[in-house]
């Protein structure tokens, strides 16, 4: 089985070459992202393997189908970049539903702690032998209220971490359930009472820009917002205005709604044309990482192993539990 692997990074190649050893799957790695202009690279392949920045809209789906491609293997959990209506009856789509909820949840907490305790600022200062504590005052997490939006595996792990800090946990999920130490509630109450809000839900038409100007107006003044899920859950322009007006006390962003042509690349020698992102990064109370939350050795191994298994099941058995 031949698979065209798009948006390949070195860490992808290493983990997938190990996972595919003796499997009969041959990956051909391409640095470029999948889109209408690059879909022809999949000619002769049985399937494509894609990530969050690749695009499978109707045009791409039809082109892949015309080239004889049968499978789309997402090496991630989210699938908002795939038009499932366009692939129906033409391409079979599989994903990795849970590669390491600990990786993402721990990164969310790492960003929060770094931000509120000014660890990044202290690190830079001490490199210059500046040991002043001026401007580094943070606040305790113990006793604070955290609102967790989305209580799947990642949200549940993040909640467990917050419980360890002695935090009060409010949660919102479309399918609430009984969980020790967690109180499920509606979004309006979660917004109103939370000192910290962390997003762990998928991007759907319903959740698009759930953090909007109107939503921010319902939140506590000085609220901290964390997003390690999907960038378009937040209206970035509304967030920027709320930070400028000091309505939002800080933001920890591992994702950004227009990240497709920016994240995963070294643009240090370029001028960033996205004014909103450029302004956000200049804010002293905004911490940005470039979709890094998943990046652990354990997660990379699980992603590769499950993706290879998904493809083998489709080819060998004609069905896969992780098919969308």
pTM for the full predicted model: 0.87
Closest Cα to residue 33, out of 210, 266, 235, 262?
Answer: 262
Residues 6+ apart with CB under 8 A from 273: none
CA atoms 17, 23, 24, 25: torsion sign = negative
Q: What pLDDT is recorded for position 135?
A: 93
Q: CA-to-CA distance for 31 and 8, rounded, in angstroms?
A: 5
**For the segment 157-171, what is each residue's pLDDT rounded down to a tens digit?**
999 999 999 999 999
Q: What pLDDT is recorded for position 55?
A: 94
- Least confident range from 113-122, 126-135, 185-194, 259-268: namely 259-268
In this structure, whether the domain defined by 101-288 belongs to CATH 3.10.129.10 is answered with no
Backbone angles phi, psi at 244, to 5 degrees: -60, -35
**For the segment 146-155, what is each residue's pLDDT rounded down to a tens digit?**
999 999 999 9
Whether residue 23 has pLDDT greater than 80: yes
Whether residue 78 has pLDDT greater than 90: no
pLDDT band at 297 (very low <50, low <70, confident <90, very high): very high
**For the segment 259-294, what is each residue's pLDDT rounded down to a tens digit?**
877 888 888 888 888 999 999 999 999 999 999 999
Query: In CATH, what is the architecture of 2-99+296-317?
Result: 3-Layer(aba) Sandwich (3.40)
Q: What pLDDT is recorded for position 263?
A: 87
Q: What pLDDT is recorded for position 98?
A: 82
What is the residue extent of each domain of the chain? 2-99+296-317, 101-288
Q: What is the mean pLDDT of residues 107-111?
A: 98
Q: What pLDDT is recorded for position 266?
A: 83
Q: Which amino acids are annotated catalytic?
A: 230, 259, 291
Q: What percentage of the chain has pLDDT greater than the value 70?
A: 100
Q: CA-to-CA distance for 61 and 39, rounded, in angstroms?
A: 9
pLDDT band at 100 (very low <50, low <70, confident <90, very high): confident
* Average pLDDT over all residues of the chain: 95
Q: What is the CA angle 97-59-8, rounded to 5?
A: 50
Q: How many DSSP H helices and E strands does the chain contain?
A: 11, 12
Whether residue 308 has pLDDT greater than 90: yes
Whether residue 90 has pLDDT greater than 80: yes
Is 121 exposed, middle or buried, given 0-12, 13-18 or 19+ CB atoms closer than 10 A? Answer: middle
Whether residue 299 has pLDDT greater than 80: yes
Backbone φ/ψ region at 52: left (φ over 0), alpha (ψ -120 to 50), beta:
alpha
The answer to whether 2-99+296-317 and 101-288 have equal CATH topology is: yes
Whether residue 247 has pLDDT greater than 80: yes
Whether residue 64 has pLDDT greater than 80: yes
Q: Which helix (H) or strand (E) holds 146?
A: strand 145-149
Q: What pLDDT is recorded for position 52?
A: 87
Closest Cα to residue 50, out of 77, 83, 82, 73?
Answer: 73
């Amino acid at each position: 089985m031949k698979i065209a692997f798009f948006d390949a990074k070195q860490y992808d190649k290493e983990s997938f070459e190990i996972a595919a050893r003796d499997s009969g799957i041959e990956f051909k790695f391409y640095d470029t992202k999948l889109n209408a202009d690059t879909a022809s690279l999949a000619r002769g392949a049985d399937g494509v393997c894609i990530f969050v920045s690749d695009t499978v809209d109707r045009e791409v789906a039809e082109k892949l189908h015309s080239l004889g491609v049968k499978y789309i293997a997402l090496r991630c959990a989210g699938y908002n970049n795939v038009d499932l209506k366009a692939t129906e009856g033409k391409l079979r789509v599989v994903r990795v539903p849970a590669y390491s909820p600990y990786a993402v949840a721990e990164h969310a907490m790492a960003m929060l702690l770094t931000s509120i305790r000014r660890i990044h600022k202290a690190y830079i200062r001490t490199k210059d032998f500046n040991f002043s504590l001026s401007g580094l005052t943070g606040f305790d997490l113990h006793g604070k209220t955290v609102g967790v939006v989305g209580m799947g595996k990642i949200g549940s792990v993040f909640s467990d971490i917050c419980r360890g800090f002695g935090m009060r946990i409010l949660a919102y999920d479309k399918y609430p359930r009984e969980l020790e130490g967690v109180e499920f509630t509606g979004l309006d109450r979660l917004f109103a009472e939370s000192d910290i809000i962390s997003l762990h839900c998928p991007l759907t038409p319903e959740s698009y820009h759930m953090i909007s100007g109107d939503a921010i107006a319902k939140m506590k003044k000085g609220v901290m917002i964390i997003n390690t899920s999907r960038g378009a859950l937040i209206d970035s322009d509304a967030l920027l205005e709320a930070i400028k007006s000091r309505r939002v006390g800080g933001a920890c962003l591992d994702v950004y709604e227009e990240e497709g042509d920016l994240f995963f690349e070294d643009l240090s020698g370029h001028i960033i044309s996205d004014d909103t992102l450029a302004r956000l990064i200049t804010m002293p109370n905004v911490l940005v990482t470039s979709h890094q939350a998943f990046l652990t050795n354990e997660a990379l191994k699980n992603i590769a192993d499950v993706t290879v298994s998904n493809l083998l099941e489709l080819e060998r058995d004609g069905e896969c539990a992780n098919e969308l």
